[in-house]
Structure 1
Amino acid sequence: MTAPASTWSPLRIGVFRVLWLAVLGSQVGTWMQTVGAQWLLVDRPGAAALVALVQTAGTLPVVLLALPAGVLADSLDRRRLLIWVQLFMLAIGVLLTGLTMTGQMTPPLLLALTFGLGCGMAMTNPTYQALIPELVPRAQLPSAAALGSVSVNLARAVGPAVAGVLIAHTGVAAVFGINSATFLIFAVVLFFWRRHPEPDGMLPEPFLAALRAGGRYVRHSPTLRRFLFRIELFVLPAVALWALLPVLASQRLHMGAGGYGLLLAALGVGAVGGAVVLPKLREALSDNRMLGIGSATYALALAVVALVREPAVVVAALVPAGFAWIAVLSNANAGLQLFLPNWVRARGLGMYQSAFFGGQALGAFCWGLLAQRAGLVPALLVAAAMTAAGAATIPLWPLIDTRHLDREPATFWPEPRLAVEPDRFAGPVVVEVTYVIAPENEPAFLAAADALRRTRMRTGAVQWGLFRAGEVAGEMLEVYVVPTWDEHLRQHAGRLTGADQEIDLRVQALSERPPTVVHLLPARPR
């Protein structure tokens, strides 16, 4: 058996290493900005709700823009898109810095500009993650995903600590200024990187068509839907710790800005430790066992943090909480990176980001309100109970195992041979596939047809049906509708995977003769 790749092995690849370091710097700046924004509000009336709203303002745009961002990342040059997004975030960062220096920053304006930075983050995350499979071999994707979590949690450890020192000595404006500089550095690194994507011979998808295609893929992929559901069940209660940690540090533990940085550093240390051993954990544990153990550990840590007032004990409890956080989320991210085919990867990752950050935005808001009305300790205890309850549902709604699936692109359909030249964007197009099924093979054929239906619908079909020919015994007609001829050509040229091919071949093997295919085109132009 091949030994699992080391967590650090992707860093041996020069391009990945430089981009990873640039992203790390940007994430450190983002956490510094978050701490600075929260600390500006921690002494205001209604601080618990206002502080939690900083996280909501930063993450809500991901919910709103995740799928459109994925569409753009799947359709445009990802490098150029990232450069323009960093310049947009740089402009907002400069404005934040200037207003704070001049004393003109108000809570509504701070939340609005944080929302603007969140819009940039919504565009950055799925675009950068969709680039990673171009940078590292497929076998190293789990390690690259773990390194992504390492960078996030290193940023959580370093960013708040640096921010605490700067806030104490120079003020919040310096924190915002450094965050702005990280966007500029990331843009410069991207500018000097010369990306050489493999041409696929296809024109970029029209935006609305690509948006609908991404939505269809999610709708007809039970595996992806289950991933998103499990992420929500974990993140909604788990985010209470992150959202309420500033209030915990300030009002319950009386630790100040530096103490808040220490608490975040403890979470970061646990998360980095988890990332180091994650490849071995993936070898030893199934995805569901990792999810269950991680959720139970996190719930226990939440309960300890809620009930104990001794700072040293709270710091110690936050280390396994960080470990559990990364074990659950980094493993889910790695699983999605391996599962999603290239043509829809950014859109699928955008939906993951929507679930992840949407859960954080909604959860942070709700836990802030609950802490404001019922108190900090009851809110954290309720979050611990909900996290444990989510773990208890794993036997009912487990993650679907995808490690054995072949997700490499597969071009196995023959090129359509038509007597007419169709308009590429004309539609709808009806595809008829005729099978001849012996009576003894009919139960197996009907059973396999459901998997075939999902394959067609994921890759472009908007309607699908299976019919029995009334005049010819044993003849079965599969009929599906694709919006345009262009969409059907994309099914031929890049949307199908090795797993789709296995399903198709299994169905074809049940036919007495090779299936015949007829394409029905619009009789009149639209």
Structure 2
Amino acid sequence: MTTPAWAPLRDKIFRGLWIGSLASNVGTWMQTVGASWRLVDEPAAATWVSLVQTATMLPVLLLALPAGTLADVFDRRRLLLTVQAASFAVATTLTVLTATDRMPPPVLLVFTFLLGVGQALTLPTWQAIIPELVPRDALPAASSLGAVNTNLARSAGPAVAGLLVAQAGVPVVFGLNALSFVVFALALLRWRRPPHSGSQAEHFGPALRAGERYVRYAPLVRRILLRVVLFVLPGSVVWGLVPLVAQRLHMGSRGYGILLAALGAGAILGALLMPRLRDRLTPNRLLVLSGLAYATALVTVALVPSPFAAVPALVLAGLAWMAQVSRMNASLQLFLPNWVRARGFAVYRVVFAGAQALGALLWGQITELTGLPAAYLAAAACMLAGTATVRRLPLHERAGDRSPATYWPEPHLMLEPHLDDGPVLVTARYRVREENRAAFVDAMSTVRRSRLRTGATRWGLFRDGEQADEFVEVYQVPTWDEHLRQHDGRLTGSDEHEEEKALALAEGPPRIEHLLPAGVPVSRH
């Protein structure tokens, strides 16, 4: 039975954190509007205002993967609390300097960038803790609620900021953004995260490289990222050019707010419908239908220049956007193991933000050359082309068992390596009957990806020239610490299943050897 759309909110901790995240997201959108409005009367205002968006997005592109690494290395609750405290200090200073008229444009951009750094650190960490708060079968619903959160903030933040700027001034908007960090921090303080046992924290550099290797050798993650690009790149035409749609339809600034609200309303409607859609549609059929719906919305906006057509079309676009994004987000939540979850989501954020930024730039240039309707029609054609690839490049519908599995025997050594000693060469010798050799080699190709995902930098499978029935697996790990993490924490139930398939084709268990650097001392025990 599918989990109802709002079911995760019944948990008071998830509910509190979701509300805190909503307050923070609304504050971020208010901050962006306030910063832009603060600069509209400056010389070269168009340049300064455009740089606000750059200063907001640049930290996500630059820092997402390091931020995800920090979230996997350190306690996620403490990291979020530290970031909220730092963001509160930055936003409060910004408020005071703006209220006292000591905020020239370059300084405002520096503060905007610093707040963007806080957002870049928060996003992958928040995504990574969701599976700790809700049961696994509730993750798709929690993912949909995350999309609702984002779109509510996108709709409400600019509208509230516009009213406050007119009635009370920019410093008040900045001050409320500062208070939004307090709301999120209070929700975090109510959450008592259980202590996580296991090995000591990874060092930052090796952890960063381990995250990159994991994504590179995880076909399911790479497929999700590809589908993100194929949808977000053409889909970004809506978010990037909504102001021009309002201008084309002579709707003014109030109409701009109405169009944004239509997108947000569509996303909320999509969240309400998602449980039923998941019951009736496979993930890939959902991708196809939402892609077709989004393309239909783009064609409608391009060919029917009327607010009465544009508003429902954007509601449909918001629904389709939410369906695609929440589906891919949920797939990633289900697939990523806990040890690398934040790093995986950091890569997801980089790809998502990069596709959105590149798409907005692309469609803006096409609009300059050909006009707004032509840009929307071109985006619709790209959306249809991307949707047509679902059959050949589908999302994998089953993530397998992602729970940690400790099934390798503990290594017993005569040497005493330090955790930082390396590289370490591991060999495994298998005896395989002639009739099983082809199947064994094929099964070991899946084992290869497991080794490379979990720490190995090189892998090979060889045959012993003197023993025709003996195969030798060889892989290299950067340090002894990395190899111990393979033994305890990085392997999953799916890795165990794939390894068992290969072992079933061999005669008995393999003979394992650990080759260490020549300078490692002999154990005193």
TM-score range, shorter chain: over 0.9
What residue number does 2:382 align with?
386
What residue number does 2:18 align with?
20
- Whether 1:336 aligns to 2:328 is no
Aligned to 1:446, which of 441, 444, 450? 441
Q: What are the residue-to-residue correspondences of 1:108-257 with 2, within 5 Å? A: 109-200=107-198, 202-249=199-246, 251-257=247-253
Structure 2 CA distance for aligned equivalents of residues 262 and 449 of structure 1: 56
- Whether 1:468 aligns to 2:463 is yes
Structure 2 CA distance for aligned equivalents of residues 147 and 409 of structure 1: 27
Mean alpha-carbon deviation: is it higher for 461-470 or for 387-396?
A: 387-396
Q: Give the secondary structure class of the aligned counterpart of 1:197.
A: coil
What residue number does 1:483 align with?
478
Structure 1 CA distance for aligned equivalents of residues 422 and 15 of structure 2: 45
Q: Give the C-alpha shift of residue 155 in structure 1.
A: 1.5
Counterparts in 2 of 1:388 and 1:57: CA distance versus 1, 3 Å: farther
- Whether 1:502 aligns to 2:500 is no
Counterparts in 2 of 1:254 and 1:109: CA distance versus 1, 3 Å: farther
Counterparts in 2 of 1:212 and 1:117: CA distance versus 1, 3 Å: same
Counterparts in 2 of 1:240 and 1:55: CA distance versus 1, 3 Å: farther
Q: Give the C-alpha shift of residue 76 in structure 1.
A: 0.6
What residue number does 1:79 align with?
77
Deviations 1:446-497 (A, max 9, x none): 1111101001000010111111111112011111111111111100101111
- Structure 1: give runs of 5+ residues left out of the alignment: none
Q: Give the secondary structure class of the aligned counterpart of 2:330.
A: helix
Decide whether the 8 Å contact of 2:13 with 2:190 is kept in 1: no
Mean alpha-carbon deviation: is it higher for 409-418 or for 339-348?
A: 409-418
- Structure 2: give runs of 5+ residues left out of the alignment: none
Q: Give the C-alpha shift of residue 432 in structure 1.
A: 0.8
Q: Give the C-alpha shift of residue 98 in structure 1.
A: 4.3
Mean alpha-carbon deviation: is it higher for 228-237 or for 486-495?
A: 228-237
Deviations 1:316-353 (A, max 9, x none): 11111110010000110000000001110010011111
Counterparts in 2 of 1:395 and 1:459: CA distance versus 1, 3 Å: same
What residue number does 2:311 align with?
315
Q: Give the secondary structure class of the aligned counterpart of 2:508.
A: coil
Structure 2 CA distance for aligned equivalents of residues 147 and 363 of structure 1: 25
Counterparts in 2 of 1:130 and 1:101: CA distance versus 1, 3 Å: same
Aligned to 1:58, which of 45, 53, 56? 56
Structure 2 residue identity aligned to 1:235: V
Q: What are the residue-to-residue correspondences of 1:325-474 with 2, within 5 Å? A: 325-403=321-399, 405-474=400-469
Q: What are the residue-to-residue correspondences of 1:276-315 with 2, within 5 Å? A: 276-315=272-311
Q: Give the C-alpha shift of residue 108 in structure 1.
A: 5.3
Counterparts in 2 of 1:111 and 1:328: CA distance versus 1, 3 Å: farther
Counterparts in 2 of 1:9 and 1:82: CA distance versus 1, 3 Å: same
Structure 2 CA distance for aligned equivalents of residues 429 and 28 of structure 1: 49
Decide whether the 8 Å contact of 1:66 with 1:122 is kept in 2: yes
Mean alpha-carbon deviation: is it higher for 155-164 or for 512-521?
A: 155-164
Q: Give the secondary structure class of the aligned counterpart of 1:477.
A: strand
The alignment-based identity, stated in percent, is 56
Structure 2 CA distance for aligned equivalents of residues 459 and 412 of structure 1: 14
Deviations 1:357-408 (A, max 9, x none): 12122222333344345443333333222222221222332223334x1111
- Whether 1:264 aligns to 2:277 is no
Structure 2 residue identity aligned to 1:485: W
Structure 2 CA distance for aligned equivalents of residues 343 and 183 of structure 1: 27
Mean alpha-carbon deviation: is it higher for 297-306 or for 93-102?
A: 93-102
Deviations 1:26-72 (A, max 9, x none): 11112222334455567889988876654443223212111111110
Structure 2 residue identity aligned to 1:277: L
Q: Give the C-alpha shift of residue 293 in structure 1.
A: 1.5
Q: Give the secondary structure class of the aligned counterpart of 1:154.
A: helix
TM-score normalized by the length of structure 2: 0.93
Deviations 1:399-430 (A, max 9, x none): 23334x11111111111122222212111111
Deviations 1:276-296 (A, max 9, x none): 221332232222222222122
Decide whether the 8 Å contact of 2:415 with 2:520 is kept in 1: no
Mean alpha-carbon deviation: is it higher for 450-459 or for 309-318?
A: 309-318
Decide whether the 8 Å contact of 1:266 with 1:322 is kept in 2: yes
Q: Give the C-alpha shift of residue 209 in structure 1.
A: 0.5
Structure 1 residue identity aligned to 2:121: M
Structure 1 CA distance for aligned equivalents of residues 504 and 382 of structure 2: 48
Q: What are the residue-to-residue correspondences of 1:89-104 with 2, within 5 Å? A: 89-98=87-96, 100-101=98-99
Counterparts in 2 of 1:224 and 1:163: CA distance versus 1, 3 Å: same
Decide whether the 8 Å contact of 1:6 with 1:279 is kept in 2: yes
Counterparts in 2 of 1:511 and 1:420: CA distance versus 1, 3 Å: same
Structure 1 residue identity aligned to 2:143: A
Q: Give the secondary structure class of the aligned counterpart of 1:396.
A: coil
Q: Give the C-alpha shift of residue 199 in structure 1.
A: 1.3
Q: Give the C-alpha shift of residue 75 in structure 1.
A: 0.5
Structure 1 residue identity aligned to 2:280: A
Q: Give the C-alpha shift of residue 253 in structure 1.
A: 3.1
Counterparts in 2 of 1:75 and 1:335: CA distance versus 1, 3 Å: same
Q: Give the C-alpha shift of residue 157 in structure 1.
A: 2.6
Structure 1 CA distance for aligned equivalents of residues 55 and 445 of structure 2: 42
Structure 2 CA distance for aligned equivalents of residues 104 and 380 of structure 1: 42
Mean alpha-carbon deviation: is it higher for 342-351 or for 233-242?
A: 233-242
Structure 2 residue identity aligned to 1:32: M
Structure 2 CA distance for aligned equivalents of residues 42 and 315 of structure 1: 28
Structure 2 residue identity aligned to 1:118: G
Q: Give the C-alpha shift of residue 22 in structure 1.
A: 0.5
Mean alpha-carbon deviation: is it higher for 311-320 or for 440-449?
A: 311-320
Mean alpha-carbon deviation: is it higher for 493-502 or for 311-320?
A: 311-320
Counterparts in 2 of 1:28 and 1:194: CA distance versus 1, 3 Å: same
